[in-house]
Amino acid sequence: MPVTLDNKLVVAISSRALFNFEEENLVFEQGNDRAYVALQMQRLDVPAPPGVAFSLVKKLLAFNSGTDQKVEVVLLSRNDPVSGMRVFRSCKAHGLDSIQRGVFTQGRDPFSYLKPLGAHLFLSANAVDVQQALQLGFPAARVLTESVQAHDGHPHEVRIAFDGDAVLFSDEAERVYQTQGLDAFQRHEIERASHPLPDGPFKPLLAALHRLQQDTQSQMRIRTALVTARSAPAHERAIRTLMDWNIGVDEAMFLGGLAKGEFLREFEPDFFFDDQTGHVNSAARHVPAGHVSSGIANT
């Protein structure tokens, strides 16, 4: 019987999202491919430091035990195969031995491989790759490599925070706000409070996390939060949408435009997803953050 990733939560991740390769990337961006490969070879036995998404990946992999493999993490990188050796060695050095699959494209677009992987999430530092992945229908975010590292205060709990509109939900309501203002947005949401919002790009990830939580005997747990600029009375449609999906979140923050960063600092997520650069930049000063380039705010 062929090997399959069916019934697993599949995360595809680039080298720079998982490890801190910013120093090496400076060489790469200078256009000297040979110097970049030479530097990686020189540092082949030097484990790369953890990157922004390291904590998220490490905790998700902790759901695996023995033959019960619920999570698969696959390296999906524009790196060359030689540099890929250092990435795998860094995985082993940091205790991520279960990362055994990788695709290294040596500069070629990697996002097309998300389909055969059946990925539920793609994390990359490359904005173009993320945009293309979103257009193909995969939850994807550009990792802000300048983000602070995750706090290690919850070793047995994966904490993930999501924005609502244009992330978990479609940007239907956000379009009203952007084009007609706050009052029109509030009226729109009150009138449609009983009508679920259409799916956003990250609904498949939230659903996969929900299945993982329900279908595991692991001591690891998942804690999710909705962190949104909505406020009452527009909160109701968001809650009713989650109820219609039969997917709950553990916390919901309706902040009415307040900066999200300090609230996220208290929640201490391993990762936060938002479509608006202002919110993502605010969050990155406190927690690992990724930009979801979807919706009207990014057109």
Q: What is the CATH number of the domain that holds 260?
A: 3.40.50.1000
Let me know if residue 33 belongs to a domain. Answer: yes
Residues 192 and 270 in one domain: yes
The predicted-structure confidence for 57-83, as pLDDT tens digits, reads as follows 999 999 998 788 999 999 999 988 989
- CB-based contact 219:262 (threshold 8 Å): no
Both 235 and 116 in a single domain?
A: no
Buried b (16+ CB within 10 A) or exposed e, 120-129: bbbbbbbeeb
Last residue of a domain, one of 114, 143, 172: 143
pLDDT of res. 41: 92
Quick check: is 183 catalytic?
A: no
The answer to whether 14 and 123 have CB atoms below 8 angstroms apart is: yes
Q: Under a CB-based contact definition with an 8 Å cutoff, are residues 253 and 226 in contact? A: yes
Residues 221 and 60: beta-carbon distance below 8 Å: no
* Residues 101 and 207 placed together within one structural domain of the fold: no
Indicate if 25 and 124 belong to the same structural domain. Answer: yes
- Distances in Å between the alpha carbon of 139 and those of 13, 121, 203, 223? 12, 5, 8, 19
Residue that is last in its domain, among 115, 143, 171? 143
179 domain-assigned: yes
Does residue 1 form part of some domain?
no
Q: Are 273 and 165 in contact (CB under 8 A)?
A: no
Q: 187 CB contacts (<8 Å, ≥6 apart)? A: none
Number of domains forming the structure of the chain: 2
**Residue 149 domain-assigned?**
no
> What CATH number corresponds to the domain at position 39?
3.40.50
pLDDT of residue 1: 62
**Statement to judge: residues 25 and 122 lie in one domain:** yes
| Residue 148 burial class via C-beta count within 10 angstroms: exposed 0-12, middle 13-18, buried 19 and up | middle
Q: Are 138 and 180 part of one and the same domain?
A: no
Q: 110: domain range?
A: 9-143
Say what the pTM is.
0.95
In this structure, are 186 and 274 located in the same domain? yes
Weakly modelled stretches of the chain, pLDDT under 70: 1
Residue for token pair 């940091």 = 94
Cβ-proximal residues to 4 (8 Å cutoff; 6+ apart), any chain = none
The answer to whether residue 2 is domain-embedded is no
The reported pLDDT for the residue numbered 67 is 82
Answer yes or no: do 228 and 184 share one domain. yes
| Residue 150 counted as domain residue | no
Same domain, 26 and 138: yes
| Sheet arrangement for strand 251-254 | 101-104, 71-77, 9-13, 121-124, 140-143, 289-291, 271-274, 157-162, 221-228, 251-254
Among 113, 143, 173, identify where a domain stops.
143
167 and 98 in one domain? no
> Residues 50, 176: one domain?
no
Going 203 to 205 to 206 to 207, the CA torsion angle's sign is positive
Q: Which of 45, 68, 163, 171 is catalytic?
A: 163
pLDDT score at 148: 96
**Do 212 and 93 reside in the same domain of the chain?**
no
